[in-house]
Amino acid sequence: MHKLDRNFYKSDAILLSKDLLGKCIARKINGELLIGRIVEVEAYKGLIDKAAHSYGGKITERTKIMYGEAGYAYVYMIYGMYYCLNVVASEVNVPEAILIRAVEPLQGMETMSMFRYNKHYDELKKREKINLTSGPGKLCKAFNITKKENGYDLCSEDFYIFTPESSDNFNIKESKRINIDYAEEAKDFLWRFYIEGNPYVSK
DNA sequence: AATGCGATTCTCT
DNA sequence: GAGAATCGCATTT
């Protein structure tokens, strides 16, 4: 198990987003480790990107975490109901982040299932098992990520990203980002990346 | 398979 | 007060 260090995150959002595919998110809750493999991400580059909350260098209470050091969590609420997890990228005062859009659950599925559905994992239908973590709002529910985790240091002991011991090869596909129709020319940027063929990639 | 819509509340102007 | 980096369900094709 190799935990990603601060320097790993001090990278351009597009490069880092691709580097994060295949890595694993780990979160320790009540002594239990929940683990998910990152299979889908989107890059947001505030200075030039009309889809980004920090577009044009806009600093607000919500966006300020993205202006700090890389490797911290940016968690925001969306549509009044869901949270989305991002990893802050790049350098101080360059507001970039990677939206974690989907993970493949590897460990702690029973606990994830209770957070997400309040049902036991072995009672889930096939579709519900896929839907456990196949979207940005879904994975936050499964990992119990809320506003409390905004600003959390991912170079820490109980919430971090690591390189798995072994991993099959995979192909990276790219596409336009999801649900940013308001973003004018930026909506056509190919800044969504995912692992080809993985069933947990969002639809 | 594709499309449409309601839920629900934070954030910013 | 408007709109949002989503989701789940209903309806239509």
Chain C bases near protein Cβ (<7 Å): 3-8
Looking across all nucleic acid strands, the nucleotide with the smallest C1' to CA distance from residue A84 is C5
Output the pLDDT for position A166.
87
Average pLDDT over all residues of chain A: 97
Output the pLDDT for position A176.
96
Output the pLDDT for position A29.
97
What are the DSSP calls for chain A, one per residue?
-EE--HHHHSS-HHHHHHHHTT-EEEEEETTEEEEEEEEEEEEEETTT-TTSTTGGG---TTTGGGGS-SSBEEEEEETTTEEEEEEEESSTT--EEEEEEEEEEEE-HHHHHHHHHSS-GGG--HHHHHTTSSSHHHHHHHTT--GGGTT-BSBSSSEEEEE-S------EEEEPPSS-GGGGGGGG---EEEETT-TTS--
Regions of chain A with pLDDT less than 70: none
What Å value separates CA A118 and C1' C12? 32
What Å value separates CA A61 and C1' B12? 10
Residues 143-172 of A, Cβ under 7 A from nucleic strand C: none
Output the pLDDT for position A167.
86
**pTM of the prediction?**
0.97
Residues 127-146 of A, Cβ under 7 A from nucleic strand C: 131, 135-139
Chain B bases near protein Cβ (<7 Å): 7-13
Looking across all nucleic acid strands, the nucleotide with the smallest C1' to CA distance from residue A82 is C6
Looking across all nucleic acid strands, the nucleotide with the smallest C1' to CA distance from residue A79 is C4
- A79-118: per-residue pLDDT in tens? 999 999 999 999 999 999 999 999 999 999 999 999 999 9
The residue whose CA lies nearest the C1' of nucleotide B6 is A79
What Å value separates CA A203 and C1' C11? 19
